[in-house]
């Protein structure tokens, strides 16, 4: 995807129609809808100005009336799917409020497999209004912990990173329950010297509760919050 020029101004702060020439035929939401539909079906690699223009029934060159290139398109797409979040009233319980959002974030990444890559490429300086609303709600969810600005921003980054990475593992077929059911590790123990693993598995009782992806996802969030919040909350 070619990029004719890079703007130093966020897409969201450039005004409704800052470029000279004919008025726009489409809205940014319509452009984003087309991009999301293509990426959902075929992945980000399928996106190109020509492909998007073909779907809209216009010329590729006309799209530069709306965006400067790939980063703008990704910003539009990330902002578009962020509109799918539901924002329950904050309860004042950090754990409850954080889980309510991150469960949704995990589901969003499942519905839009390209989103993990897209989030990695969109600059924080180009967040759209829907993305900003998510960011604002996360700040509100952590407010009860009375963290300073740096700790709050770091906490949101760590939590969001966990969701993104875990969703990536799930997309690759990761199953937490399969770890405990696999015969590979016990078999390897019989062919090498692994004293710590051997001792751990020797003390594992058959009554140990099984671990699935949901339990591991939640445990990761709890561990992060324990480290983010002074005194573990």
| Per-residue confidence (pLDDT) for residue 190, from 0 to 100 | 84
| Per-residue confidence (pLDDT) for residue 186, from 0 to 100 | 80
pLDDT, one tens digit per residue, over 12-21 is 887 654 555 5
| Per-residue confidence (pLDDT) for residue 4, from 0 to 100 | 42
Q: How far apart are alpha carbons 10 and 72 in whole angstroms?
A: 9
The domain spans of the chain are 11-82, 94-175+212-232
pLDDT, one tens digit per residue, over 31-72 is 999 999 999 999 999 999 999 999 999 999 889 888 888 889
Pick the more confident residue, 99 or 121: 99
Question: In terms of pTM, does the model score above 0.95?
Answer: no
Residues 6+ apart with CB under 8 A from 59: 53
- 60: how many CB neighbours lie within 10 A of its CB? 15
Q: What is the mean pLDDT of the chain?
A: 86
pLDDT, one tens digit per residue, over 173-223 is 888 877 666 677 888 888 889 889 888 878 766 445 667 899 999 999 999
| Per-residue confidence (pLDDT) for residue 2, from 0 to 100 | 41
Q: How far apart are alpha carbons 52 and 151 in whole angstroms?
A: 40
Q: Distance of CA 168 to CAs 6, 36, 150, 196, 229, Å?
A: 30, 19, 27, 29, 26
Buried b (16+ CB within 10 A) or exposed e, 154-169: ebbeebbebbbebbee
- 189: how many CB neighbours lie within 10 A of its CB? 15
Residues 6+ apart with CB under 8 A from 60: 48, 49, 50, 52, 53
Q: Distance of CA 231 to CAs 147, 149, 210, 226, Å?
A: 12, 18, 29, 7
Homologous superfamily of domain range 11-82: Homeodomain-like (1.10.10.60)
């Amino acid at each position: 995807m070619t990029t004719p020029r890079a703007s130093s101004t966020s897409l969201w702060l450039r005004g409704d129609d800052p470029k000279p020439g004919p008025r726009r035929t489409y809205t940014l939401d319509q452009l984003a809808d087309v991009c999301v539909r293509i990426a959902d079906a075929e992945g980000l690699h399928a996106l190109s100005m020509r492909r998007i223009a073909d779907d809209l029934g216009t010329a590729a060159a006309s799209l530069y009336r709306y965006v400067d290139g790939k980063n703008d398109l990704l910003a539009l797409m990330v902002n578009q799917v962020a509109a799918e979040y539901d924002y329950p009233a904050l309860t004042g319980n950090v754990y409850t409020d954080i889980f309510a959002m991150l469960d949704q974030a995990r589901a969003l990444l499942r519905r839009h497999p390209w989103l993990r890559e897209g989030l990695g490429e969109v600059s924080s300086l180009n967040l759209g209004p829907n993305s900003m609303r998510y960011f604002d709600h996360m700040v509100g969810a952590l407010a009860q912990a009375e963290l300073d600005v740096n700790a709050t921003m770091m906490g949101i980054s760590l939590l969001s990173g966990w969701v993104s990475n875990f969703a990536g593992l799930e997309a690759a077929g990761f199953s937490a329950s399969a770890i405990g059911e696999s015969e590979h590790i016990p078999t390897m123990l019989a062919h090498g010297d692994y004293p710590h693993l051997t001792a751990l598995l020797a003390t594992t009782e058959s009554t140990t509760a099984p671990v699935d992806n949901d339990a591991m996802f939640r445990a990761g969030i709890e561990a992060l919050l324990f480290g983010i919040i002074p005194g573990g909350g």
